[in-house]
Amino acid sequence: MPERALEMKERTLLLIKPDGVDRRLVGIILARIERKGYHIVAMRMEKIDFETAEKHYAVHRNEPFYDKLIKYITSGRLVAAVVSGEGCIGGLRYIMGGTDPLEAAPGTIRGDYATNVTMNLVHGSDTPEAAEREIALFFPDLPE
């Protein structure tokens, strides 16, 4: 597919969280996304700092689980990726499954592999606005 065609489609941020990296599920997760027909247009592995984590999860700042979430996401390496494709924001969230793995449907990433609501393997942007903000946070030099 021509590079220009990928630029015209919706984009979203995928994070494979530290438990996904530690449990060596990165390949399985990426394969599911690619089999759906989505494209990985940028990717890197890193350990994020507290400042980045706080910016990323700012929307949850007043939630009782916020400190636990920040501690967890900064506890090890994660994989950040930009995923592109028609309807990929909703489609990726469908593939990921519900936030609580005990309620996530079988056949979804969380339903099949996640162990608890905090260590739930993946994050995907929930709106186009969040995707734009999150992509800029993790990939500031990526052209729009």
Delineate the domains of the chain, giving CATH numbers in brackets: 3-138 (3.30.70.141)
Cβ pair 117, 69 in contact under 8 A: no
- Work out the average pLDDT over 22-31: 98
Model confidence at 1, pLDDT cuts 50, 70, 90, reads: very low
- Work out the average pLDDT over 104-133: 95
Q: Indicate the Cα dihedral angle 95, 97, 126, 37, nearest 10°.
A: 0
The CA distances from residue 19 to 12, 15, 126, 134, 144, in Å, are 21, 11, 21, 20, 30
Question: Of all residues in the chain, what percent carry a pLDDT higher than 90?
Answer: 89
Catalytic, 39? Answer no
pLDDT at 98 over 60: yes
What is the model's pTM?
Answer: 0.91
Q: How many CB atoms lie within 10 A of CB 87?
A: 13
Query: Which is nearest to 112 in space by CA: 28, 12, 33?
Result: 28
Q: Does 14 or 4 have the greater pLDDT score?
A: 14
Among 39, 56, 60, 123, the one annotated catalytic: 123
> Measured between alpha carbons, how far is 68 from 97 in angstroms, rounded to an integer?
21
- pLDDT given for residue 6 in this prediction: 46
